[in-house]
A and B are shown apart, each in its own frame.
Chain A
Amino acid sequence: MTAWVATAIDAVYVAAVIVFILGLRAMSSPATARRGIVYAGIAMLVAVAATLASPGFSNFALIALGVVVGGGAGYYWARVVKMTAMPQMVAVFNGMGGGAAAAIGAVELLGSLTSGATAYLSAAGAVIGSISISGSMIAFLKLQGWMPQKPIVIPARQVVNFAALAVSLGFGGVAFWTLHAFYLLPFFLFLILYGVLFTLPIGGADMPVVISLFNALTGVAVGLDGFALVNGPLGDAGYAMVIAGVLVGAAGSLLTALMARAMNRSIGNVFFGAYGATEEAAGTIAGSMKPIDVADAAVMMEYASEVIIAPGYGMAVAQAQGKVKELADALEAKGVTVKFAIHPVAGRMPGHMNVLLAEAGVAYDKLFDRDEIDAEFPHADVVLVIGANDVVNPAARRQGSALYGMPILDVDQAKNVLVIKRGQGKGFSGLENELFYKDNTRMVYGDAQAVVAALVSNVKKSAT
C-alpha cells in the first residue's frame, strides 16, 4: 500500500518536471506562451498535492496554514497590483522563493549539522537563497520608489561587500566546526547584509537585469536544497527540485546575459559598475530646451503624413497607454500614418511597452522593433517621445559618454521631435539628454496622460 503510494507520487514528480520543461519551451514563443504557463501551473498544483499525500508527515495543520496564508497573500497581491508595478512584483515573488530556499536550508542545517555532504549542500542553498531574498527586496524597494533609485555607493564597497560575505562564511565555518547551531544566526544575518550591499549600488534602470540574476540564483538555491533532500526520507521530491531549480538557474542565467546584451552592457558592468553614479561633466550641450503649446503640437501632428510614437517609462508611470491609443486612432482618422517604435529596453523591463500598448488595444502590427523602424525616422514628419529618455539620447553615439554603445532609437533624425516629459529631470542613467536641446525638438511639459488627453481633444476638435 505504502509502496504503491510512493510510486504514484514519484510518477507525479516525473510528469511535473516534464511539463515544466515543455511549459518553459512554450513560453519562449508568443503563440504558445499562455498555454505554457497554464500547463506549468497544473503541474505545480498536482506536484504540491502529491507531496501533501506523502506518508510519514506530521504538522499538517501548520502546512495547511502556511499554504493558505502564503498562497492567499501571493494571489491577492498579484491580482490587485497595477500592470506598471509588475517588474517589482516579479522581484518580490522571486525573493519569496529565495527566502523559502534559505529557510529550508536552515531547517535542514538544524536537523543535520553533523551529516557531512547534506549539511554542506543545505548551507550552500541557504547562502544563495539568503542573498536572493535580501537583494530582491532592495530591488523591489527601488522600483517601487520607496528607496532612491540612484545607485547608492559606499566607500570601498567591494572591500566591505567581500568582508560581509567572508564574515558570514566564517560564522558558517564555526557552526560546522563547533556543531553549535547558534552560530547559524550571524551566518544568515551577514548573508542578508551582503545581498543588500550587493544591490544598493545598482541603479534603477539596471534592475530588470538584477532581478533576472536573482531569479537564476533562486533557481540554483532551490536546486541545492533539492540535493540536500535527496538523501532524506522523501528523496524524490529532492530530484524534482534539482531539475526545476537547475532548469531555472540555467535559463535565468542566459536570460540575464541576453538582457544585458540588449543594453549593450557587460554583466560585470551592470553588477559592479555602479552605473550612473558618476555624471558626465556638464556644459557640453549647446542650445536650450524649447517648450511648445499642446494645441500647436496637436496641429503639427495632424498635418503630418507620418507620425512615429516612441513610448518610455513615463508613459507607464502616467498610465497613459489608453490615451495614447486614442491619439493614434484620432490621427489615423485624419489620414496620418501612425507607427510605434519600441526600444528593447524602454520602460523597466524588456517587452514592458509592448505589454502596456497591447493592454490598451494597439494592434501588434503597429509596434516596431528598433531594427525594423530605425531607417524610417528620417522620413517621419513627427516623432512623439512619451516619457522616454535614455533610449533616445543621441549621446549614446558619441564616444566617451557613459551611454556610449547602447543602441538607441534615432528619433533625432526625424523632421520634428515632440517630447512629452514631466519636468526637466534626467533619465535613469543620470545623464542630460542632448535630444531635448536640438533645434528640431520641442518639449511639452506635464503628466503624460494629461498631455496626451489634451492632444486627443485638440486633434478631435479641429475635425468638426
Chain B
Amino acid sequence: MTADIWTALFIAILAAFVGYEVISRVPVLLHTPLMSGSNFIHGIVLVGAIVALGLSTDDIERGIGLVAVIMGAMNVTGGYVVTERILAMFDRSKSKGGSK
C-alpha cells in the first residue's frame, strides 16, 4: 500500500526538477501567460474531483464532491480561455509587426 506513495514521491521529485528546468530561462514578457498556463495545468485537479465524486457513497461526500467538480471544471475552462486570450494577442501583433 505505502509502496505506491513511495513511488509517487520518486515521481514527484523528478517532476519538481522538470518544472524548475522548463521555466528557468523565460523572458519577463511571458511571466503572465506562463502563470496563467500553469494555472490551467493544475486544472488536472478536475480528474481527482471526478474520481472523488464518482466513488462517493453518502450525501455529504456527494455534496462536497460536486463542489470539487464544479470548481475543478471552472479552473480548467477559465484557465484555458484566459491563457488563450492573452497569447492570442501576441500572435496577432506578430503578424502585424512582420508586415510592417
Q: What is A's interface to B at a CB cutoff of 8 Å?
A: 16, 20-21, 23-25, 27-30, 33-34, 36-38, 40-41, 44, 47-48, 51-52, 54, 56-60, 62-63, 65-75, 77-79, 83, 86-87, 89-90, 92-94, 96-97, 99-101, 103-104, 106-108, 110-111, 117-118, 121, 208, 211-212, 215, 218-219, 222-223, 225-227, 229-235, 237-252, 254-255, 258-259, 262, 344, 349-352, 354-355, 357-359, 361-365, 369
Contact = CB atoms under 8 A, between A and B. Distances in A.
A337 B44 CA distance: 48
Interface string B53-90: 11111001110111111111111111111111111111
B35 A255 contact: yes
Contacts of A351: 28-33
Contact of B75 (A97, A212, A233, A255): A97
Given A70-B70, A238-B8, 18 more contacts: A21-B18, A28-B25, A37-B84, A41-B80, A59-B53, A67-B46, A100-B75, A103-B52, A215-B42, A218-B39, A225-B48, A229-B48, A229-B51, A247-B18, A255-B38, A258-B26, A351-B29, A355-B86
Contact of B19 (A33, A87, A117, A250): A250
19 contacts: A34-B91, A36-B37, A37-B40, A44-B40, A66-B53, A89-B82, A92-B78, A94-B42, A107-B56, A117-B2, A218-B39, A218-B45, A219-B41, A242-B15, A247-B16, A350-B29, A351-B28, A351-B30, A358-B90
B54 to A, nearest CB: 3
A250 B19 CA distance: 5
B88 to A, nearest CB: 7
B53 A70 contact: no
A90 B68 contact: no
Nearest to B31: A350
B29 A30 contact: yes
A244 B76 CA distance: 13
B62 to A, nearest CB: 6
B77 A100 contact: no
Contacts of B29: 30, 350-351, 354
Contacts of B61: 107, 110-111
B32 A350 contact: yes
Contacts of B81: 74-75, 78-79
A25 B75 CA distance: 21
A358 B81 CA distance: 18
A222 B48 contact: yes
Contact of A230 (B8, B25, B60, B72): B8
A107 B8 CA distance: 21
A248 B38 contact: yes
Most chain A CB neighbours (cut-off 10 Å) among B17, B49, B88: B49
A86 B32 CA distance: 9
Interface residues of B, number: 88
B92 to A, nearest CB: 7
Given A30-B30, A44-B80, A65-B66, A242 B74 contact: no
Contact of A252 (B35, B65, B76, B82): B35
A30 B27 contact: yes
B34 A255 contact: yes
B70 to A, nearest CB: 4
A247 B12 CA distance: 8
B19 A355 contact: no
B28 A355 contact: no
Contacts of B25: 28
A364 B97 contact: yes
A245 B39 CA distance: 10
A359 B7 CA distance: 46
B95 to A, nearest CB: 10
A364 B95 CA distance: 10
Given A110-B61, A110-B64, A231-B4, A222 B73 contact: no
B22 A83 contact: no
Given A51-B51, A243-B15, A250-B20, A361 B32 contact: no
A365 B91 CA distance: 14
A10 to B, nearest CB: 13
B12 to A, nearest CB: 5
Most chain B CB neighbours (cut-off 10 Å) among A69, A100, A239, A354: A100
Given A30-B30, A107-B56, A108-B52, A90 B36 contact: yes
A369 B27 CA distance: 11
A98 to B, nearest CB: 8
B53 to A, nearest CB: 5
| 3 tightest Cβ-Cβ pairs between the two chains A and B | A66-B69, A250-B19, A70-B73
Nearest to A41: B80
Contacts of B93: 357-359, 361-364
B77 A71 contact: yes
B39 to A, nearest CB: 5
B82 to A, nearest CB: 5
B65 A255 contact: no
A90 B48 contact: no
